[in-house]
Structure 1
Amino acid sequence: MCGPAWAQRSRGRTSKSRTQLEREKRTALKRIQETTRILQQTQQRKEATLGQLNALKEKITVQKNVIQTISSELKYLDSDVRQTETQVQHTQQNLEQLRAEYARLIYASSKTANSYNRIMFLFAAESFNQFVRRLQYVRQYAEVRKAQAAEISQTQSRLHQQLTGLTAKRQQKSSLLNTQLSENRNLLVIKTQQDQVVTQLSRQEQQLQQELAKRQQSVRRLDNLIAQRVREEIARAARAAAARAARSNTAGRSSTSGRSPGATNRNETAESEAAVERTDRVTLTPETAILSSSFADNRGRLLWPVSRGFISQRFGKHPHPVLKHVVIENRGVDIQTNSGEAVRSVFEGKVLTVASVPGMNTIVMVQHGEYFTVYAKLRSVSVSEGQTVQARQQIGTVYTDSEGTSEVQFQVWRNSANLNPENWLGRK
């Protein structure tokens, strides 16, 4: 029979795991609700759109997560039910043994049921010591009966609790199975909707080709703008460093007028070399170096640029969702969200650029030392160039296109190197 400590430890592990699964399921269901609202905004038009397709794909992904979580919960419930059934069986066996032992005690006690027999048993002792031992035996016998009766009562109570718990777990399992069936039906409905959208979009191949060409042109414009602004910032920071070095040289010559010419020349040469304009990375001041280091330390923990939404297009090269044999490349991540959603800075920094790029609408570029974050497809902007912004500070609102898709593009750069934003964003 398994001891109580083992049972408690096992129940503790199961409870913890199931609590985590329940939390994950609630989060997933919340994501489904958010995605449904976003999908409804894109369905206001009768024509199928890529925004609809992206929202349906996200909904399918989250729906599968819900079903998988429910399956894991069912496994834990199965384990709980089996364990409880085993405990019930052991308790029933224990109860039967206790009742049998108690019956034997009652039978033995019935032979000396009256006071006269007990007194005769005591006074029949051959010595005083034997009398004392018989008296202790009679008392212990009575105590054993009481203890046995109490243990039977406790065991019956424990068995009742176990049976009640077993019934509740079986009901919970049945309910969870029904939920799983319902979620599977929902998944089939969403997949059917997805197939319908894909079929409609496949008939619009020429239009999709035109939209893709426009997007690629917009991406090139944005890439050129970002590259230009990064080069300008690298050059500006280098000139500022050279100016600081020149001022330091002038002050140094004044304070070392009594030193040998050789030592002075060596100092000036070292400072001049340090002030040479860089073309590969931003020259950092002590303050911007701290900011840059802090940004790097938050890799994988940055805020999302919007509080609600999902990644509709990931970083890098991947197949077009409809057009066959067409590969598209994304410099950042596209996050589909609600109409009018606030766009916020993911980290403190300085607004380097506010510009308009055809096809990308308004863009904001924020500098964090040698790191840069880019927010494209904005409808309105609430910051200006040179302004210092804090994390979570609103910098604008998301743009909604003619198809009803509200989407912001987010990019991360380190100097001239394009980075994958998904590696920098925290869990939503």
Structure 2
Amino acid sequence: MNAGKGAWLFLIFGFLSFSAMAQKSKAQLQKEKQQNLEKIKEVEKIIEETSAQKKNSLGELTALNQRVREQEKLVGSIKGEVNFLDSEISDNNDIIVVLEEDLDDLKKEYSAMLFAAQKANNSTTRLTFLFSAKSFDQLVMRLRYMDQYAETRQLQAEQITKVQEELSGHVAEIRVRREEKNKLLNEEQREGTNLISLKQKQNSLVKSLEKEEKKLRKDLEETKKAVAKLDKLIEDLIKEEMERAARSKKSEVSVTLSNSFEENRNKFMWPVSSGFVSQRFGRQNHSVLKGVVVQNNGVNIQTQENEKVKSIFEGEVRRVAFIQGLGSTVIIKHGEYLTVYAGLKEVFVRSGQKVTTNQEIGKVLSNNEGVSELRFQIFKNTTALDPSSWLKNM
């Protein structure tokens, strides 16, 4: 077999290496799809709770918006899987073409070898070939040549069998991948139809809420007043803490706690176990009222009814307060940092109490529209920080 033969081996090894990477990526897509499905279940439950309390509420729209986003992610994951399967099927088809070509060449070579072997196989011809040697060394070399020729024929036969097995394996692989692809295409079509239905519901809800502009503006003003009280509470506490720090030397414990807090950036668990970000940090347009911009010094997390709220890190409770329109608020100090948990109906801690990471500090409040929403903020001294840069997977 010439040097070109066996190129299929390198192609197969290269394909197997690529296939392993593709499988890893596909596994990641499947994991993301499963996470999307779990998130969809969470959001569905939140929608059910809000719509059961009051039809056509802003909280329901926020949850529905999130539901649409999760559905879009799900459809994207499915499309990604289909693309990987297309790539795998294409790779298998390429290998099959090469294997069929090599198999054809191997069979031709083997056929030629068998023909030559038949001509030289009778005893007279073999003896003539051996004893016509001009020296003993040449005789030995001819014996070795005959042995090697027999081994080559055997190897050729084994190569043909191996290529046939590889060929059968890749043909079977294509059948499996095509079945997977057909199932995914059906799933993609079904979830795409669901997405269209959700967007229609989303548009319908927006139109319904636009008719309630007067009420929405009134609710927004009340929320702004409550948030202003929360901002004042935080501002006063920060001022107290800075005056306290100016009077006394920074303790080693405080410095260590601050450094440890900073080291956990992007690693903190969410203060609630389920839910989604209903309003992000900074300035953003109101979801219904045109021309209205809302400022948020943290993030709002819409969650399930009676969800437990946890401290994201160890520290000391510096303030527990009730604000009309927002419910109870807990502020925890972590060295130079403060975390704020507003929108609680029950509080499990008291001012001055030391808390540990993930300790339950209260239970989230559900308003009269059935919306359960936590307002979460992080401050370093007087600076409000974006929690999405600190919480994991936000």
TM-score scaled by length of structure 1? 0.85
Residue aligning to 2:43: 35
The answer (yes or no) to whether the contact 1:284–1:369 under 8 Å persists in 2 is no
Residue aligning to 1:354: 320
Q: Which amino acid aligns with 1:163?
A: V
Residue aligning to 1:146: 154
Choose from 159, 164, 182 the match for 1:174. 182
Q: How far apart are the structure 2 equivalents of 1:61 and 1:230?
A: 37
Q: Deviations over 1:122-181 (max 9, x none)?
A: 456566555444433333332222111111111111111111112222222222222222
Residue aligning to 1:105: 113
The answer (yes or no) to whether the contact 1:348–1:390 under 8 Å persists in 2 is yes
Choose from 56, 59, 66 the match for 1:51. 59
Residue aligning to 1:262: none
Residue aligning to 1:267: none
Q: How far apart are the structure 1 equivalents of 2:137 and 2:227?
A: 106
The answer (yes or no) to whether the contact 2:305–2:365 under 8 Å persists in 1 is yes
- Is 2:149 the partner of 1:183? no
Q: Which amino acid aligns with 1:206?
A: K
- Is 2:376 the partner of 1:417? no
Q: How far apart are the structure 2 equivalents of 1:124 and 1:420?
A: 93
The answer (yes or no) to whether the contact 1:38–1:338 under 8 Å persists in 2 is yes
The answer (yes or no) to whether the contact 2:318–2:352 under 8 Å persists in 1 is yes
Residue aligning to 1:293: 259
Choose from 63, 83, 94 the match for 2:102. 94
Match runs of 1:15-414 below 5 Å: 15-115=23-123, 117-119=125-127, 121-123=129-131, 128-239=136-247, 241=248, 284-414=250-380
Q: How far apart are the structure 1 equivalents of 2:176 and 2:122?
A: 48
Aligned partner of residue 377 in structure 1, secondary structure: strand
Task: Give the alignment's Cα RMSD to 1 decimal.
Answer: 2.0
| Structure having the higher Rg | 1
Compare 115-124 and 362-371 and name the one that shifted more: 115-124
Compare 417-426 and 149-158 and name the one that shifted more: 417-426
Unaligned runs of 5+ in 1: 242-282
Q: How far apart are the structure 2 equivalents of 1:326 and 1:138?
A: 93
Aligned partner of residue 302 in structure 2, secondary structure: strand
Q: Deviations over 1:50-73 (max 9, x none)?
A: 111111111111222222223333
Q: How far apart are the structure 2 equivalents of 1:147 and 1:301?
A: 58
Q: Which amino acid aligns with 1:424?
A: W
Q: How far apart are the structure 2 equivalents of 1:129 and 1:212?
A: 104
Compare 314-323 and 226-235 and name the one that shifted more: 226-235
The answer (yes or no) to whether the contact 1:34–1:308 under 8 Å persists in 2 is yes
Number of residue-to-residue matches in the alignment: 386
The answer (yes or no) to whether the contact 1:379–1:399 under 8 Å persists in 2 is yes
Q: How far apart are the structure 2 equivalents of 1:404 and 1:414?
A: 33
Q: Which amino acid aligns with 1:86?
A: D
Compare 10-19 and 115-124 and name the one that shifted more: 115-124
Aligned partner of residue 44 in structure 1, secondary structure: helix
> Measured at CA, do residues 374 and 138 of structure 1 come closer, stay the same or move farther in structure 2, by a change above 3 Å?
same
Structure 1 residue 410: deviation in Å? 0.3
Q: How far apart are the structure 2 equivalents of 1:343 and 1:177?
A: 41
Q: How far apart are the structure 1 equivalents of 2:143 and 2:279?
A: 88
> Measured at CA, do residues 137 and 237 of structure 1 come closer, stay the same or move farther in structure 2, by a change above 3 Å?
closer
Aligned partner of residue 24 in structure 2, secondary structure: helix
Unaligned runs of 5+ in 2: 1-6
The answer (yes or no) to whether the contact 1:91–1:155 under 8 Å persists in 2 is yes
Q: Percent identity, aligned pairs only? A: 38
Compare 338-347 and 23-32 and name the one that shifted more: 23-32
The answer (yes or no) to whether the contact 2:316–2:334 under 8 Å persists in 1 is yes
Q: Which amino acid aligns with 2:78?
A: I
Structure 1 residue 339: deviation in Å? 0.8
Q: How far apart are the structure 1 equivalents of 2:188 and 2:137?
A: 74
Compare 417-426 and 336-345 and name the one that shifted more: 417-426
> Measured at CA, do residues 198 and 7 of structure 1 come closer, stay the same or move farther in structure 2, by a change above 3 Å?
same
Structure 1 residue 359: deviation in Å? 0.6
TM-score scaled by length of structure 2? 0.92
Q: Deviations over 1:387-420 (max 9, x none)?
A: 0001100000111111111111101112222222
Q: Which amino acid aligns with 2:66?
A: E
The answer (yes or no) to whether the contact 2:53–2:368 under 8 Å persists in 1 is no
Compare 161-170 and 19-28 and name the one that shifted more: 19-28
Q: Which amino acid aligns with 1:55?
A: A
Q: Deviations over 1:313-333 (max 9, x none)?
A: 111111111111111112211
